[in-house]
Amino acid sequence: MANILQMAADENLLPPVVYELGRRFEDAGHELSLVGGPVRDLFLRRVSGDLDFTTDARPDGILDVVRGWADSTWEIGRAFGTIGLAKAGYTIEITTYRADAYEAGSRKPEVRFGETLEDDLFRRDFTVNSMALRLPSLELVDPFGGVRDLAAGRLRTPGRPEDSFSDDPLRMMRAARFASQLGVDVAPEVEAAMTGMAERLSIISAERVRDELVKLIKGQDPATGVDLLVRTGLADIMLPEVPALRLETDEHHSHKDVYQHSLTVLRQACETETDDDGPVPSPDFVLRFAALMHDVGKPSTRRFEGNGAVTFRNHDVVGAKIVRRRMRALRFDNDTIKAVSRLVELHMRFFGYKDQAWTDSAVRRYVTDAGALLERLHRLTRSDVTTRNKRKAARLSQAYDDLEARIAELAEQEEMAAIRPDLDGGQIMEILGLRPGPLVGKAYRWLLDLRLEEGPLGAEEARARLEAWWREQPESAAAGAAKASSPGSAGSAAEPVDTDERATSR
């Protein structure tokens, strides 16, 4: 133990602001301790991104101590005893000793200040987070065996897990998150309490559940955390589409276990992520969540054929709708919803390529439809191959290698990432004599399809093709008649038009 604390000092695992703050509180006659995750991370030999402290001082006393030292302070959490501050680039939270609890059926705790550090540690979620370092002495306070549990890779609560989870039901999800992040096993009594109290998670706000889910999915081993949510019934409350993947099988209709397949795809997707300077830096929530959810359309699309085969037609499209609905319920932002659901919708697109060679236009369309998600789609598609048949896996891998090579070749030729028609909206309106409106958008989309089918044409060829196409449209005659009957149309020049490209966006 002493060696770990000495290492913290020798290797600068704790920044100077920790010691400075400890001395200021000591000089003011108050206790101060570093607590929770930062202490746990010392024993894992890593630097924590958080700096959380607890003290016997009340909020006004905290402000008195840091006044003139902190670069800035804020009091958003004052009602809960928390004062925030910034110092030397660090974000710091200092909280008065707490001994609060959730009342039955309540989403918010009743705030009660505690009298001792031990009181505060007892109310924390797990023993590995119920350790503190008194400052500035670096005395370890570990009344519930957090160091022992961390060494054993075991997750326990300071008191009875039923009491802990009753105080804050989100702690049940946090147990699954720590199983993912820290690689620890949940103690049997903890898992039993999670199973028995899973329904209580329903009182927690969607936003808190979402934030905990994101942390779990971005953990070191998200599949383990997800599986714990499913085993305990917590997933039935907050992510029911995942346990629904456990489709029943019988002796007449065989198919792979969709749930276990999805966990495997999630694990494999994590392995495809890149370093920070790569195209999909780890951990990537969008890729990982799409991997977990890519087959959620299968339960509602499963059909048994007469020959004993099982089909899931259109499960990609159905699954994308299901994903959007669930993510909205969890209050995800629109950009994340669109990205994940689009990957789910596109995840089957490649499997037509392995059956027959695509034209260049089909490859262009694949790239265009994926857009900024192309690198993630590459990784999701490769991760979706979980067959134990080595020859089949090799064929699929070779086919995707070929597709990526063709994408790269075409990209070099025509900068596919920014494919646009050969004529912009303003040129279309000038050539056809149109004002901004739906007809311009229709012409733009036709030119874009032409571009995808045949590649770059050049402005002159595109103009000729556009004029020929326009002559065949019923709107062409109507537009000509309207122009002829308008006052002053004979021999007059075309009026100026607004070439705002937003009018022609797809």
**Domain limits of the chain?**
1-152, 243-418, 425-486+493-504
Give residues with Cβ within 8 angstroms of 445, minimum separation 6. Answer: 506
The dihedrals phi and psi of 426, each to the nearest 5 degrees, come to -65, -40
Query: The domain 1-152 is classified under which CATH number: 3.30.460.10, 3.30.43.10, 3.40.50.1010, 1.20.120.10?
Result: 3.30.460.10
Q: What pLDDT, on the 0 to 100 scale, is given for residue 494?
A: 38
Residue 407 is predicted with a pLDDT of 87
pLDDT at 310: 80
Interhelix angle 285-293/374-383, rounded to 10 degrees, is 40
pLDDT at 416: 56
pLDDT of residue 13: 72
pLDDT of residue 489: 45
pTM of the predicted structure, to 2 decimals = 0.77
* Residues above pLDDT 90, as percent of the chain: 57
What was the pLDDT predicted at 351?
A: 79
What's 433's DSSP letter? T
Q: Are 288 and 296 in contact (CB under 8 A)?
A: no
pLDDT single digits (tens) 118-173? 989 998 999 999 999 999 999 999 999 999 999 999 999 999 999 999 989 999 99
> How many Cβ atoms are within 10 Å of 347's Cβ, its own excluded?
24
Residues of the chain with pLDDT under 50: 1-2, 250-254, 488-506
